[in-house]
């Protein structure tokens, strides 16, 4: 019997990777959906921001940007640009290389997203193949692909495949998977490199390194073993060295003002973008995002498996070897859950505006839901094999259906009105690169005092010109005489009634002096279930400051 199983193993492995290939195709197809759409959807701020600073690297060169995220527009750009130091820099540097190859397009960042997501999925499936039976691993992989969080945002940055690589190397070193003594040195090097680079690509690397370190120490205590010095040194030194490098670069960028770093941490670890921090509101937001990120049926299955389902798990017969898990027991549960929980709780202030902050929970939820499905199949198989198989297929189909609905919902949300994007695309065509836009609004956002003010990224990406604010007729006329500002942009309405009254008066005065180039009608926003759904916009006019209106 054992000989027969060993003969079937190559076929099973081949079938697994054939199915894995289909999951890769599915993931790439989902992420390629509407790939050329402008940056106006959910989290368009983040999409445009990454593209903007990557374009600066590719367009102006590292001699200008100094390798740092640089808020620069126009050509030639300003001599003293504002730089963004809050995040590690390599992500945008690599993205700039893709921009040099593919050009300055909306879809360039999405090509990168597909590449990263494909690599991460293959690494995840390789890991799950060792930790779970093949069917469960493929179901977990399918859920990982189908989650709306993945389908819309992708798996994340380059840090994600690095974390999965770190997990692989670590689990190999502790003997959980892939026990090949000849390759242990290679895996130690891989663990050191992945932990170091993981933090260079994202602050989240700290929480994954933290989870690995704590897990290793607790494992040694539990097994009453002394930790291997080289492994312990890697788990401590590699992430700490990377963390110190990040802080050094950040502090140098801030002029060695460590108070800015402290204030930024306090902001992200406390109230964030809310007026005050309330745990009740925080958990409500956490659950709200979880419902749309992972869908209700998946969450219910996960919760049932992790609570009531554990009664059945521990009733299973444990394999003879004491180091083996029960068939439906979650493999290395604390290792997988710790990064997400620690990140969410330590930097809890980041959750309010960011669905993506729940991404570290994606793998443990996918594994839990898959194990829940298979556990149900095991229980029903005692009644009927056909009933068990039908139930597994039906439940996975329900998951897929809800995930499709959830992903569609994410694609339908708009943070920017398409006509607002068209305004800046039009102005980009009209204004030469060495000129600037004169505008009633400055389009500058001040997210936090440690960050400073900068153009709204979507507008900066499409306009790619400096913006100077002027709100008086005399000021507009004075600026028009300089020849630097060929056009003036103004809204015709505003949120404040007094400002709207002033705008009506200003518009009439401008129509006497300058030619109106284009009018963009306003549209109301839209809500769904009483919550923000699609952004509206005020009506806008563009005036040509180089020519007088007829009859003036």
Say if residue 401 is in the same domain as residue 472: no
| Better-scored residue on pLDDT, 253 or 398 | 398
Last-in-domain residue among 412, 431, 455: 412
Amino acid 316: pLDDT: 77
The tens digit of pLDDT for each residue in 250-275 reads 998 888 888 888 888 888 888 777 77
Is residue 549, in this structure, part of any structural domain at all? no
* pLDDT of 288 higher than 80: yes
Is residue 137, in this structure, part of any structural domain at all? yes
Segments forming the whole domain that contains residue 493 = 418-544
Q: What is the average pLDDT score of the chain?
A: 91
* pLDDT of 312 higher than 70: yes
Is residue 479, in this structure, part of any structural domain at all? yes
Say if residue 428 is in the same domain as residue 292: no
Say if residue 405 is in the same domain as residue 425: no
Short-list 464, 415, 463, 412, CA closest to 44: 415
Which of 318-345 are b and which e, b meaning 16 or more Cβ less than 10 Å from the residue's Cβ? eeeeeeebebbebbbeebbbbbbebbbe
Q: Lay out the sheet containing 466-469: strands in order across.
A: 466-469, 436-439, 487-491, 540-544, 515-520
Is residue 298, in this structure, part of any structural domain at all? yes
Say if residue 238 is in the same domain as residue 205: yes
8 A C-beta contact, residue 455 and residue 443: yes
- Helices and strands in the chain, H and E counts: 22, 11
The tens digit of pLDDT for each residue in 100-119 reads 999 999 999 999 999 999 99
For 145-154, 234-243, 342-351, which range has the lowest pLDDT when averaged over its residues?
342-351
Amino acid 201: pLDDT: 94
Amino acid 1: pLDDT: 46
* pLDDT of 130 higher than 80: yes
Residue with tokens 């299955």: 301
Amino acid 277: pLDDT: 84
Last-in-domain residue among 389, 412, 435: 412
- What percent of the chain is modeled with pLDDT above 70? 95
Is residue 552, in this structure, part of any structural domain at all? no
Say if residue 400 is in the same domain as residue 426: no
Say if residue 408 is in the same domain as residue 424: no
Say if residue 101 is in the same domain as residue 203: yes
Say if residue 30 is in the same domain as residue 142: yes
What mean pLDDT is predicted for residues 321-338? Answer: 83
Q: In a 10 Å sphere around its CB, with 0-12 CB exposed, 13-18 middle and 19+ buried, how is residue 303 labelled?
A: middle
CA angle 417-419-420, nearest 5°? 65
Last-in-domain residue among 362, 380, 412: 412
Say if residue 98 is in the same domain as residue 197: yes
* pLDDT of 181 higher than 70: no
384: Cβ contacts below 8 Å, ≥ 6 apart:
none
Amino acid 8: pLDDT: 66
* Number of domain units in the chain: 2
Q: What is the CATH number of the domain that holds 507?
A: 3.40.190
Say if residue 371 is in the same domain as residue 491: no
- Beta strand 487-491 with 436-439 is parallel
Say if residue 521 is in the same domain as residue 382: no
The tens digit of pLDDT for each residue in 34-90 reads 999 999 999 999 999 999 999 999 999 999 999 999 999 999 999 889 898 888 999
The three-class DSSP label of residue 436 is: strand
What mean pLDDT is predicted for residues 237-261? Answer: 90
Q: Measure Cα distances from 150 to 57, 141, 350, 382 in Å.
A: 27, 11, 19, 35
Say if residue 325 is in the same domain as residue 289: yes
Amino acid 185: pLDDT: 87
Is residue 78, in this structure, part of any structural domain at all? yes
CA distance 88 to 68: 9
* pLDDT of 538 higher than 80: yes
Amino acid 495: pLDDT: 86
Is residue 173, in this structure, part of any structural domain at all? yes
Is residue 550, in this structure, part of any structural domain at all? no
Amino acid 254: pLDDT: 84
Which of 411-445 are b and which e, b meaning 16 or more Cβ less than 10 Å from the residue's Cβ? bebbbbbebbbbbbebbbebbeeebbbbbbbebee
The tens digit of pLDDT for each residue in 429-470 reads 999 999 999 999 999 988 777 677 889 999 999 999 999 999
* pLDDT of 5 higher than 60: no
CA distance 295 to 281: 20
């Amino acid at each position: 019997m054992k000989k027969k199983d060993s003969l079937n193993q190559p076929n099973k492995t081949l079938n697994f990777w054939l199915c894995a290939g289909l999951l890769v195709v599915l993931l790439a197809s989902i992420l390629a959906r509407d790939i050329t759409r402008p940056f106006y959807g959910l989290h368009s701020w983040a999409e445009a921001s990454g593209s903007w600073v990557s374009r600066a690297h590719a367009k102006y060169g590292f001699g200008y940007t100094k390798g740092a995220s640089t808020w620069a527009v126009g050509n030639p750009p300003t001599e003293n640009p504002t730089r963004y130091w809050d995040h590690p820099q390599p992500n945008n540097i690599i993205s700039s290389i893709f921009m040099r190859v593919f050009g300055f397009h909306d879809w360039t960042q999405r090509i990168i997203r597909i590449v990263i997501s494909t690599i991460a999925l293959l690494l995840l499936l390789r890991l799950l193949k060792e930790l779970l039976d093949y069917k469960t691993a493929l179901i977990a992989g399918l859920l990982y692909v189908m989650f709306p969080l993945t389908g819309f945002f992708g798996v994340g940055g380059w840090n994600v495949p690095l974390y999965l690589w770190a997990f692989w190397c670590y689990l190999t070193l502790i003997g959980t998977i892939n026990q090949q003594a000849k390759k242990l040195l290679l895996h130690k090097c891989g663990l050191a490199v992945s932990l170091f680079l993981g933090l260079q690509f994202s602050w989240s690397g700290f929480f994954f390194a933290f989870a690995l370190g704590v897990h290793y120490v607790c494992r040694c205590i539990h097994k009453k073993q002394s930790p291997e010095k080289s492994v312990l040194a890697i788990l401590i030194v590699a992430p700490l060295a990377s963390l110190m490098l990040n802080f050094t670069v950040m502090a140098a960028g801030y002029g060695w003002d460590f108070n800015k770093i402290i204030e930024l941490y306090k902001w992200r670890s406390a109230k964030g973008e809310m007026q005050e921090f309330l745990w009740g509101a925080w958990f409500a937001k956490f659950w709200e995002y979880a419902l749309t990120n992972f869908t209700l049926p998946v969450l219910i299955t996960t919760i049932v498996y992790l609570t009531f389902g554990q009664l059945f798990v521990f009733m299973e017969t444990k394999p003879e070897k004491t180091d083996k898990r029960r068939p439906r027991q979650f493999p290395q549960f604390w290792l997988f859950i710790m990064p997400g929980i620690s990140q969410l709780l330590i930097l809890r202030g980041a959750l309010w505006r960011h669905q993506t902050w729940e991404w570290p929970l994606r793998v443990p939820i996918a594994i839990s839901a898959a194990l829940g499905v298979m556990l149900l199949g095991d229980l029903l198989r005692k009644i009927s094999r056909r009933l068990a198989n039908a139930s597994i297929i039906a439940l996975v189909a329900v998951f897929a259906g809800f995930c499709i609905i959830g992903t569609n919902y994410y694609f339908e949300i708009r943070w920017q009105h398409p006509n607002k994007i068209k305004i800046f695309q039009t102005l980009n065509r009209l204004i030469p690169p060495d000129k600037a836009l004169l505008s009633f609004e400055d389009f500058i956002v001040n997210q936090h005092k440690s960050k400073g003010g900068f153009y709204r990224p979507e507008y900066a990406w499409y306009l790619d010109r400096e913006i100077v604010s002027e709100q008086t007729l005399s000021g507009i006329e004075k600026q028009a005489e300089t020849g630097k500002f060929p056009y003036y942009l103004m809204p015709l309405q505003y949120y404040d009634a007094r400002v709207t009254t002033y705008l009506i008066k200003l518009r009439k005065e401008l129509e006497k002096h300058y030619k109106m180039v284009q009018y963009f009608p306003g549209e109301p926003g839209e809500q769904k279930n009483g919550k923000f759904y699609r952004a509206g916009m005020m009506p806008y006019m563009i005036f040509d400051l180089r020519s007088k209106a007829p009859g003036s």
